[in-house]
Structure 1
Amino acid sequence: MEGPLSFSSAHEMLHNPMEGTTMKQRVKSFSLALLAGLPLMGLSLAGTSHAADEAVFTAKQRAAIVQIVREALKNDPSILSDAIRSIQQQASSQQEAHVKAAVRANWQALSTAPSYAVRGNPQGQVTVVEFLDPRCTYCRHMAPVVDQFLARHPDVRLVEKVIPVLGDASLLDAQAIYAAAFQGQYDAMRRRLMEETAKPGMEHLRDVAKSLKLDVARFEKDMKGQAVMGLLTANLGQAQSVGVQGTPTFLFGQAAVAPGALGMEQMEQFLEAARKG
């Protein structure tokens, strides 16, 4: 492991034209530390070891080093863009690791749903979870893609989690979907509401309920009941636990979290990752 940076070695490395890419990489690392506001400890540009009393710079030395970095950035501005890109990549990697850990920690709840909300093969070897909002344009776009995906992969168990994230109309539709489920019409209600473009509202929902031969009085009561609200609250809590920020979002087993509308090829790539574990 390389030792901490000294003022003299930093100056030498930043001004040595023979160092080429190595110098640029080390300046980028140094810039990362400065941009992050970190103390310059444990960071090496020169690759030499120094005594512990040189691990922390004086204010004068630090100011001089900052000036050296500024000069280097003037000569090669790409150093800064590389540093920023590195920070972004590191943050993205950390976020991905955090999300995957959350998925593992909450997988039992995430992969569980009432039988009517499980599609494909109920005994499938691979579980895919979909968070969807019935009013979401992208979720509607994905509906036929998901149907095709399940038809092509009979080993997939799809768990649907309806979450109302787009306002009052979404909440009403989500309540209607689960209320219809209590009369055996979950899938029919979900498909109707996600295919139609009629103005949302209770009047329309009553019409749909009648067309599906539901007991409308019971349907309206169930929409407001604790059972339906409990399902929606649980779904929203699970979505929050794994950092879902929009719909649709897919969990391909514990291997991948995929937000947004996906193409068939993308879904199959994520599925392959889930099969490999």
Structure 2
Amino acid sequence: MRHWTVRRIAALLLAATALASLPRAALALDPAEKEEIGAFVREYLIANPEIMLEVQQALKTKQEADQKQASAAAIDENSQAIFHSVHDVTLGNPKGDVTIVEFYDYNCGYCKRALSDMDQVIKSDPDVRFVLKELPILGPDSLDAHKVSAAFRLIAPEKYGDFHRQLLGNEERATEASAIAVATGLGVSEAEIRAKMETDPHDEAVSEAYSLANALGVSGTPSYVIGDEAVFGAVGVDALKAKVANIRACGKSTC
């Protein structure tokens, strides 16, 4: 099973290519050929195990490319809901030339650390439009905090940026109680919050966010949509700024 085997395999592959137009049964290898090829492949992989790392990397690269292509298609198909949903809040410049959409959960530790990334982008670039899209996926507390958040936005939209920063910036776990505490600290009473939660539960916002997350392949927070790309994870302020610059330079997040 040395050079002769390699030639033998090459011959079999060439034969398979030549017979591609024949019925499937004509391409079947006999048991001896299958055993011979299997033994050769096993021997070669044992002698060259680094090939498995190359295969793993190639698979990862392909999966990332497939994911990026699927995300781009989903962004195009759902652009209105992603960038201009009536349920979302916009910070920064509402007429900015580049939009960053962030999916977040108030109990996501990475989202808490990424809060400063958003503020740095907004502070350093007056032409960025930053859209906040709540995705409560970390249990009942997150969903309860979202319901308070949604009610607060409807009552005092001009104060929502402060609410968002205080609740997300709090090191303690976000709950209904902690969200109400933030709301009352900003001048909206608990009675107002509870009344609004009762009359306008905002279920459509959560359903839309979940649907978009599924379409985009978002499985965790924070995740972003910038131009034609879904960006997963807390990538940092420099990466966000670079993608904004790319969109201005070439119309895509990656030039």
Normalising by structure 1, we get a TM-score of 0.76
Match of 2:18 in 1: 50
Say if 1:157 and 1:58 are closer, same or farther in 2 by CA, change over 3 A.
Answer: same
The answer to whether 1:189 aligns with 2:163 is yes
2-structure distance, mates of 1:155, 1:47: 61
Q: How does 1:12-161 map to 2 (within 5 A)?
A: 12=7, 50-52=18-20, 55-114=27-86, 117-161=89-133
Match of 1:263 in 2: 236
Extract structure 1 runs of 4+ deviating beyond 6 A: 46-49
Mind listing any 5+ residue stretches in structure 2 that lack a counterpart?
Answer: none
SS of residue paired to 2:84: coil
Say if 1:13 and 1:261 are closer, same or farther in 2 by CA, change over 3 A.
Answer: farther
1:251–1:257: 8 Å Cα contact kept in structure 2? Answer: yes
Of 126-135 and 70-79, more deviation after overlay is shown by 70-79
Q: What one-letter code is carried by the residue in structure 2 that aligns with 1:251? A: V
Percent sequence identity over matched residues?
Answer: 26
2-structure distance, mates of 1:112, 1:104: 13
Deviation at 1:226, TM superposition (A): 4.0
Deviation at 1:114, TM superposition (A): 3.6
Normalising by structure 2, we get a TM-score of 0.81
Match of 1:214 in 2: 188
Mind listing any 5+ residue stretches in structure 1 that lack a counterpart?
Answer: 1-7, 15-25, 27-39
The aligned length equals 241
2:103–2:222: 8 Å Cα contact kept in structure 1? Answer: yes
The answer to whether 1:11 aligns with 2:6 is yes
2-structure distance, mates of 1:271, 1:215: 39
Relative contact order (alpha carbons < 8 A, sep ≥ 6): 1 or 2 greater? 2
2:106–2:174: 8 Å Cα contact kept in structure 1? Answer: no
